[in-house]
Structure 1
Amino acid sequence: MQLAAIDWCIIGLYLLIALGIGIACRKRASENSEEYYLAGRKLPWWALGTSMVATTFAADTPLAITEMSRMKGIWENWFWWNWLLYGLLAVFLFSRLWRRAEVLTENELLEMRYSGRPAAFLRFFKAGYFALLYNFIVLGWVINGMSSVLTVMLGNGEPLAFEIAGWSVQWDFREVMVWVLVGISTLYALLSGFWGVVVTDVIQFFIAMAGAVVLAVVAVNQVGGIDGLMEGLDTTFAAKAQAAQVQLEASREAGATPEVVAALQGAYEQMPKSAAEAISVVPVVPTDVSWFSFEFLNSQFFQFLVLILVMWWSNHATDGGGYLIQRTMAARNERHALAANLWYNFANYALRTWPWILVALVSVVLFPDLAGHPMGEKAGYSLVMNQLLGPGLKGLLIVSFLAAFMSTVDTHLNWGSSYLVHDIYRRFVQPNRGERHYVVAGQLATVGLIVVAAVIARNMGSIEKAWKFVMAMGSGIGLVLILRWFWWRINAWSEISALAVSFLATCGFEVLAAVQTMRGGEAYVLFGRDPVIAGHPFPFHLQLLVVVGVSVVAWLGVTFATPPEPSEQLRAFYQKVRPGGWWRDLAEIGGERDREVTRHFLPNFFAGMALIWGGMFFIGYTLLKQWEWAVPSGLAMVAGFAWIWFAVLRKEAS
């Protein structure tokens, strides 16, 4: 074990504080379901926005970013940078709409917007789908990520061995530690509900950010500053590219299967060959292939286009995203809901990005070859922590990972149990019980969720691929989620068909990958590899295009083949939330057109892009000494903030 006594003291103190918060909040949270799941809708913007940031940063996040940056360079972070675009939809449209709806869960809106049995079925199905399948995968990769960190930090220590009633038991100490953390997270989530989740999230955000910044500073200094980092990346990536080319040629000469050759060829073509390629935020445009060839479709540039043009509007979180919607609905009012989402997006993209990326780049220089490591490329981040940090700092960094891990676990447990209890148990099983009964039911659901997530965690391969599978699984439904607020013709069958087709298509690709893996004599690992079609790897971005295309065609056909929702249902929904959009004659009913959120949306949206992406690239280019890009990025940030301050925030304040 590689931790000093002071490290254990820091870790123990943090865990006691987290548990103490849960105990302190337990009485308030147990009053009723609204207190337990939404903190009584009384929370300010800064607490909610900070909680959003904390809960989207788990122990797996820097590992996945390291995995992507090491293999393909910084540009692949557009996989999550593109989420800003639907984040801005939440800021300027959906934050206010969700707060106006005054529902307890996202799924409750379905029976407000749609009618009859299809609406009830959709509410039941989506609650189970996201609370169980989606939640199990997310919790599984989060637990897997924390286990990976502790595997590196605690080394290969001796297992804990003891006897219970004559049975000899051996436990890996690292797994024991992970489940101690899970147990504490579950306990304070059980006791304190959403109150405890938000309070601990605020504390965890500052701990996690401090840890990430400290590690980035130490890591960059270790390799001679930014100039030394650039020199090291040039040398390392050139050597890695040469070794990959030798391996590719050897596999061809040895008569390897087409799938193996295709996978090696794809890996070689995708990897950076220099520091300039590694730090570029936009991949090189291929000029030596036809734009209609498979080579172009598999190029990094085409992947980039798919991420920024398709992925952001097509996924299941386009109108807010489950646990972010939960926080939006807990805001004091619409103004606090908008400000919470704006602060979340700025902190998430502009502030958090670069400490992780800098450590990922340093890991390439310090640990150039991790192909043989049990955890693969994602181990780079933890290895940098373990090698460079001494007593005290190592404890702080582990606490930052614990904070990130626990903030995500408690959020998904609380959010998932809200779906199971409010949208399934209360709606369909026991509709007329007292509030205390539903709080207890939520606590029992929380325990059940974490038990099943444990099984998923033990059978998960790449964290990056798990991320992508989850995104693809709901990728066909995004446009429906946007349009249901603004277009009267969307009905319950639109959502049902979009979600079902997306799920079946995504699972089909994973089944194909499993069959090909086992046919090649390899052991199948969940999300372990991409399928190969026509002799070419068929990666995530191509799968996404197929899933989205098939789903959009399916739900459009189903929408026009089924009747619209009754006018009374549509009118009641419109009068409640005042969204604007295409509502036939309904827009004239009830007045108050000045409350429509669509007014001035486009300039606000582009100002948000300028503020947040401008800020993100200003910070990054400044750190990397790319001054020619830092200055215009900074100007864009300032211009975006000025517009939002005068056109949105001051107006909302008045």
Structure 2
Amino acid sequence: WAVWYPGAEPGGGSFIAQRMLASKSERDAMAATLFFNFAHYVIRPWPWILVGLASLIVYPNLSDIQAAFPHLDPGLVGHDIAYPAMLKFLPAGWIGLMVGGLIAANSSTVLSLLNWGASYVVHDFYRRVIRPGAPEKHYVSAGGTATVMLFLVSSGVVFLLDTAKASFNIMLQVGAGTGLLYLLRWFWWRVTAWCEIVAMAASFLVSLGLAILARRGVLLETDGALIVTVVITTVCWVATAYLGPQTDAATLIDFYKKVHPVGPGWRYVRRKAGISEDAAARYSHRENIPLSLLGWASGSLMIWSALFGIGAVLYGRWRQGAWLFAVFAAAAWLLIRVVRQLWD
């Protein structure tokens, strides 16, 4: 909940929305998202984990990697190189399939991020500030140009990073503290665009400050730096929610009538719009917060129990695996009941 990460945004986001909007109905979008979470967190990780564990046996030390690949630049030899080094054990046909899969996976991720970034550049900046009122065809061309420019800039940034883990830590650090904001924006009318801007700026500046301190010898562990960033960022955006500019009432009312957000956090807007609590309940007949929280808990339990259940079986811990799969079955049954009740 505390950290934003592409594909696992705590409060939803454009990354997953691109896929949801491609569904033919809201029900299909929910089913697709549930399947994505199961496939993403349960099915996909274990081949990675097994190969990673095997790499610890095959290449117990960095010197073993260097010995296996004597022509590899010593500057590239690191712990994150052990995983791709395992590719040498694949036969020709399988390695071709693996390369094709990597290209497809990389293309999917890169295209989603480029499309997302270009939409920000064109619709939130270029269209509003540089060239408002132009034909749609012009904005499509501008989107293509923005996509190419973002690709070139991001490709240049790659050369500033030493390891894949470094880029992962940077993403976590820069997104730290924004997760709660993205969750609460659906449940609290005070969360504005200024809160998001302040949160992103605060997390970036804190991350930059910690990086400067690290270069001067004041080094925090990754988890400690993450906690510091989360706390400072949260204080900044919550203060902005109370002290910063507020969205005008007409815009809030229009948004409420279009989306019908639920919960006590929108009671102020409902009063402003002259909408009673009974009428609001009729508008949002599927939005039962206690039932939705039960679905969230059962869904999370289903994913975690399946993930660790597979691990227990692979490790030969049959009894533990049986218990975990029993929990998985119960949680899945409960989730199905909740979803059906919400959609009836």
TM band (smaller chain): 0.7 to 0.9
Question: Which residue of structure 2 aligns with residue 584 of structure 1?
Answer: 267
Give per-residue Cα distances to partners, 1:76-119, cap 9 Å, x unaligned: xxxxxxxxxxxxxxxxxxxxxxxxxxxxxxxxxxxxxxxxxxxx
Segments of structure 2 that go 5 or more residues without pairing to the other structure are: 67-73
Which one of 369, 377, 390 corresponds to residue 91 of structure 2?
390
Aligned length: 322
- Equivalent residue letter for 1:549: V
1:456 shift after superposition:
1.2
Question: Which residue of structure 1 aligns with residue 136 of structure 2?
Answer: 435
Q: Distance in 1 between matches of 2:77 and 2:141?
A: 39
Question: Which residue of structure 1 aligns with residue 202 of structure 2?
Answer: 501
Which one of 286, 296, 316 corresponds to residue 605 of structure 1?
296
8 Å CA contact 1:621, 1:627 repeated in 2? yes
1:389 shift after superposition:
1.6
- Equivalent residue letter for 2:209: G
| Structure-2 change in CA distance of 1:578 and 1:595 (3 Å) | farther
Give per-residue Cα distances to partners, 1:152-200, cap 9 Å, x unaligned: xxxxxxxxxxxxxxxxxxxxxxxxxxxxxxxxxxxxxxxxxxxxxxxxx
Question: Which residue of structure 2 aligns with residue 355 of structure 1?
Answer: 47
8 Å CA contact 1:610, 1:639 repeated in 2? no
Q: Distance in 2 between matches of 1:331 and 1:410?
A: 18
Give per-residue Cα distances to partners, 1:579-617, cap 9 Å, x unaligned: 212222434356414143635122111110121111111
| Structure-2 change in CA distance of 1:564 and 1:651 (3 Å) | closer
Give per-residue Cα distances to partners, 1:392-451, cap 9 Å, x unaligned: 122122222222222222222222212212222223222222222222211111111111
2:98 is the counterpart of 1:407: no
| Structure-2 change in CA distance of 1:640 and 1:445 (3 Å) | same
2:302 is the counterpart of 1:614: no
Which one of 636, 642, 654 corresponds to residue 327 of structure 2?
636
- Equivalent residue letter for 1:384: M
1:243-258 paired onto structure 2 within 5 Å = none
1:313 shift after superposition:
3.1
Question: Which residue of structure 1 aligns with residue 225 of structure 2?
Answer: 543
TM-score by length of 2: 0.86
Question: Which residue of structure 2 aligns with residue 552 of structure 1?
Answer: 234
SS at 2:176 equivalent: coil
Structure scoring higher RCO (CA < 8 A, sep ≥ 6) equals: 1
Which one of 6, 10, 15 corresponds to residue 323 of structure 1?
15
Q: Distance in 1 between matches of 2:111 and 2:258?
A: 32
- Equivalent residue letter for 2:85: L
8 Å CA contact 1:476, 1:502 repeated in 2? yes
Q: Distance in 1 between matches of 2:148 and 2:194?
A: 33
2:106 is the counterpart of 1:424: no
Please list every run of at least 4 consecutive aligned residues from structure 1 whose deviation after the TM superposition is greater than 4 angstroms. Answer: none
1:650 shift after superposition:
6.8
Give per-residue Cα distances to partners, 1:437-491, cap 9 Å, x unaligned: 2222111111111111221112211211211211221212222222221112333
Q: Distance in 2 between matches of 1:498 and 1:355?
A: 36
8 Å CA contact 1:611, 1:641 repeated in 2? yes
1:556 shift after superposition:
2.3
Q: Distance in 2 between matches of 1:333 and 1:513?
A: 49
Percent same amino acid at aligned positions? 35
Question: Which residue of structure 1 aligns with residue 77 of structure 2?
Answer: 375
Q: Distance in 2 between matches of 1:394 and 1:558?
A: 52
- Equivalent residue letter for 2:144: Q
TM-score by length of 1: 0.47
Q: Distance in 2 between matches of 1:489 and 1:412?
A: 28
1:152-551 paired onto structure 2 within 5 Å = 312-315=1-4, 317-370=9-62, 374-386=76-88, 388-516=89-217, 531-532=218-219, 538-551=220-233
Q: Distance in 2 between matches of 1:562 and 1:451?
A: 36
Q: Distance in 2 between matches of 1:601 and 1:463?
A: 36
- Equivalent residue letter for 2:78: G
Q: Distance in 1 between matches of 2:302 and 2:292?
A: 15
8 Å CA contact 1:315, 1:472 repeated in 2? no
SS at 2:23 equivalent: coil
1:370 shift after superposition:
1.4
Q: Distance in 2 between matches of 1:389 and 1:595?
A: 50
| Structure-2 change in CA distance of 1:585 and 1:651 (3 Å) | closer
2:243 is the counterpart of 1:561: yes
| Structure-2 change in CA distance of 1:642 and 1:442 (3 Å) | same
| Structure-2 change in CA distance of 1:332 and 1:551 (3 Å) | same
> How large is the Cα RMSD of the aligned pairs?
2.1
Give per-residue Cα distances to partners, 1:560-595, cap 9 Å, x unaligned: 223543322222211111121222243435641414
| Structure-2 change in CA distance of 1:490 and 1:449 (3 Å) | closer
Give per-residue Cα distances to partners, 1:613-637, cap 9 Å, x unaligned: 1111111111111223211110111
SS at 1:583 equivalent: helix
| Structure-2 change in CA distance of 1:546 and 1:471 (3 Å) | same
| Structure-2 change in CA distance of 1:445 and 1:489 (3 Å) | closer
8 Å CA contact 1:363, 1:384 repeated in 2? yes
| Structure-2 change in CA distance of 1:593 and 1:453 (3 Å) | closer
Which one of 565, 572, 592 corresponds to residue 254 of structure 2?
572
8 Å CA contact 2:122, 2:139 repeated in 1? yes
Q: Distance in 2 between matches of 1:375 and 1:444?
A: 36
Q: Distance in 2 between matches of 1:450 and 1:508?
A: 27
SS at 1:594 equivalent: coil
| Structure-2 change in CA distance of 1:593 and 1:416 (3 Å) | closer
Segments of structure 1 that go 5 or more residues without pairing to the other structure are: 1-311, 517-530, 533-537
SS at 2:56 equivalent: helix
Q: Distance in 2 between matches of 1:563 and 1:416?
A: 26
- Equivalent residue letter for 2:47: P
